[in-house]
Amino acid sequence: MLRTSQGGAGNGTAAADRRAVSIGAVLAQLREEFPEVTISKIRFLEAEGLVEPERTPSGYRKFSSEDVEKLAQVLRMQRDHYLPLKVIREYLDALARGEQVALPSPGGQKDLADSCWDAAMAGAPAAARIGRAELLAVTGADEEQLAEWESYGLIVPEPEGGYDAEAVNVAKLVSDLGRFGLEPRHLRAVRAAAEREAGLVEQVVAPLRRHRNPQTRARAEATAQELAELSVRLHAALVQTALRMRSH
């Protein structure tokens, strides 16, 4: 159970503290269980109507202990059950009406997303695409985070909609990096470096793709894949070298 307050000078003060805490205090409480949570995440869940904190005359948010517990419940359902916010909201509304409802299952959404993720990790092409809800399920992200990833060009949906295995791979990696405080704006340099490396690979394989010999053209994709793998290995080695030099 989350802590809601520290003892006050009197019972009235302690009760008031339990009823209303600042968003900073909420963040501190939630981070005991959810170290990746941020103030922007709390504000996003408020904007989605999952909690409704009181406002002081000067406009500051004040969260009750029930608000904090509800936020924790939402975060648990996202983390443990991979549920999108729409399903979580419907579940909480049903509980508020006094209905006895079972916790919804993510069903096939996570299974499909996980299979796409497994294919990406194995380096195998995946013809199947997953939708937005499935991508949110496998990464544990919310709509606000995915929209931000897309705005920085880190995640790009297919022209006909949905996300392929490579997009799932990138989304999972961006999500994992986010747990260390790296935001999409920090990853712009990584994306720019990837674009430059892709340009170098394209310079090598472009003549092969234009060749009149079909076998030579067929070799272009294999060459591109091999060059990409070598580029990734070089990038990793250079990062390790740079870190080692900085530690001296």
pLDDT digits (tens, 9 = 90+) for 6-27: 444 444 444 444 568 999 999 9
- Model pTM score: 0.50
| Nearest one of 138, 120, 141 to 184, comparing CA atoms | 141
Domain 12-96: top CATH class: mainly alpha
CATH code, 108-182: 1.10.1660.10
| Same fold across 12-96 and 108-182 | yes
Over 60: is that where the pLDDT of 128 sits? no
- Write out pLDDT tens, residues 80-92: 776 767 778 888 8
Specify whether the CB–CB gap between 46 and 74 falls below 8 A.
no
Q: What is the pLDDT of residue 72?
A: 93
pLDDT at residue 124 is higher than 70: no
pLDDT at 219: 84
- Cβ burial of 178 (10 Å; 0-12, 13-18, 19+) is buried
Indicate the domain borders of the chain. Answer: 12-96, 108-182, 188-247
